Structures are given as C-alpha cells and as structure tokens.
Amino acid sequence: MKKKRITFGKIIASVLAIIWLVIAGAPFYFMAASAFKEQFEIFTSGVFAAPKGLFLTNFQKVIESNFYKYVLNSTFVVLVSLILILTTALCAAYPFSRFKFKLNKPLFGIVVAAMAVPIHVTLIPLFQLTQKLNLYDSIFALIGPYTAFNLPISVFILTSFMAAIPKELEEAAEIDGCGKYRTFFNIIVPLSKPGLATLAIYNSVNMWNEFSFALVLTQSPKSRTLPLSIWEYQGQYSSNIPMIMAVLTLCALPMIIAFAIGQDKLIKGMMAGAVKG
C-alpha cells in the first residue's frame, strides 16, 4: 500500500544508483569494447566508441598462443590444493568442534592466529625452501603455500559449521556402535557438504587470482599461472591496448561465467572470508 510519491530521498537514491552504475560498469565497458578493436582503432575512433565490428583477431591470437598452458597450470594448482585444503580442514574441524581435550582451545588458537599472518613474511623463506626442495619454478611449488595459507580460515569456518550439526545424531551413531572414525566418515562428512561447497568456492576464487607466491616461486612461462600471464602479454604487446584488453577479458571470463550460472552461491562463497578473526 505504498504511495507513489517522488520524494527528495528517492531522487538522491536514483542519482546514486546511476552514478555507481557508471563507475562500476565503465571500466568493464572499456575493457570489453577495446578487446574487439583493432590496434589503431582506439586512436581514430576514441575510447568510448563501440567497436566497428566484431574484430576477433585479438582473441584468436591470444588463444593460439600458449594461453591454454596458463589456464591448465592454474586449473591444476587450484584443483590439487583445493582437495588438500578440504580434506585437511574436514579432518581438523572434527576434533575442534566435537572433542573435549585439554589442548583443544590452544591449538585452535594457533589456527586462528595463523589466519592473520601476512604472506609477505613468508616469501623469502619459502623461496629458499622451494629451491632446496628443487621445486622452484614448477607449479608444484605453489601447492604447499596455497594449501597452508587457505587452511586456517577453512578450518575456522568448517569448525563453526560442524559445531552446528546436532549432537544427537552423533550420539545415536555412538550408541549404534559407530566409532569416532566411522561417525566422521558416515555422519559428519556427508552433513558438512554445504559448508564444503561454500569453502570450495571461496578457496578456488582466492587461488585462481593469487599473485604474490606465483610471482616469487615461479619464473618461466611454462610454470606460471593465469594472473602472471598478463605480464607476459604486456611484455609482448605493450603498445597494443586492444590485445591486452582481450587477455584481461579472457582472464575474467571464467569468473563471469561462474557468476552468471550461480550468482548467489558465488557471492556467498566469496563472502565466506568475512569472518571476525
């Protein structure tokens, strides 16, 4: 039963909505529109003009180069690390949320504290470590740090998720003769699936975009991940803006597709990290 009245507040709200629409959208328009332009079209027709036609050569050139290699590297690192993170976090969250033992609180405290450690403190020692282990400049160098740095928050989130699973289920299982390990695999793990899904999204997005470790622990194009690919192309095509924009568009594409498929899930997953430490 709202009255339709144009109030001062509504005008301000609409102005704000439009301004922010332009601010959030313009860079994307610039990126996507430029990607379809020829190298010198930007100079002749200006940055705001829509591309003259669907000029796809930029994309073709990028895809025909070793772009796929970066995609494969990123996919591999993310998948392997993700499996490690989720299984390790599942195992850790179970005793933290369910068992009473003396060291529970202090150990959990260490995990929470680890959430706050800035990765840059560890860059030099991990650079050394990967060299000692002969992993430097291979994608395997990234798996350990990626897993370790995404674990604390994953354990934290999963612990609070498991703590919300009703105790009665577990007690019933115990009475029926289930040991701790069977209870874990048959009751806790299946019930934790929604939590795991959120974590999978959160961690995948993080690792897919990770830059610092990839910059320091890898060197050659054959072992670099997607965020660093942009670097290589910039070296090659520094003055060809449409080409760089095509690379950027292709890099953003997987996330935009994921967003189009399940925006609510993706948003929820990406916000999972916003917990009070």
Within residues 51-80, the interface with another protein by CB under 8 A covers none
For another protein, the binding residue among 3, 6, 17, 164 (CB under 8 A) is 17
Q: Quick one: 121 or 175, whose CB is closer to another protein?
A: 121
For another protein, the binding residue among 119, 178, 187, 189 (CB under 8 A) is 119
Interface with another protein includes 165 (CB under 8 A)?
no
Interface with another protein includes 164 (CB under 8 A)?
no
Q: Quick one: 200 or 233, whose CB is closer to another protein?
A: 233
For another protein, the binding residue among 60, 87, 134, 236 (CB under 8 A) is 87
Q: How many residues bind another protein (CB under 8 A)?
A: 89
Interface with another protein includes 126 (CB under 8 A)?
yes
For another protein, the binding residue among 142, 244, 246, 272 (CB under 8 A) is 244
Name which of residues 199 to 238 contact another protein (CB under 8 A).
208-209, 211-212, 215-216, 226-228, 230, 234
Q: What is the nearest approach in angstroms of another protein to the Cβ of residue 26? A: 7
SS (H, E, C) the chain: CCCCCCCHHHHHHHHHHHHHHHHHHHHHHHHHHHHCCCCCHHHHHCCCCCCCCCCCHHHHHHHHCCHHHHHHHHHHHHHHHHHHHHHHHHHHHHHHHHCCCCCHHHHHHHHHHHHCCCHHHCHHHHHHHHHHCCCCCCCHHHHHHHHHHHHHHHHHHHHHHHHCCCHHHHHHHHHCCCCHHHHHHHHHHHHCHHHHHHHHHHHHHHHHCCCHHHHHHCCCHHHCCHHHHHHHHHHHCCCCHHHHHHHHHHHHHHHHHHHHHCHHHHHHHHHHHCCCC
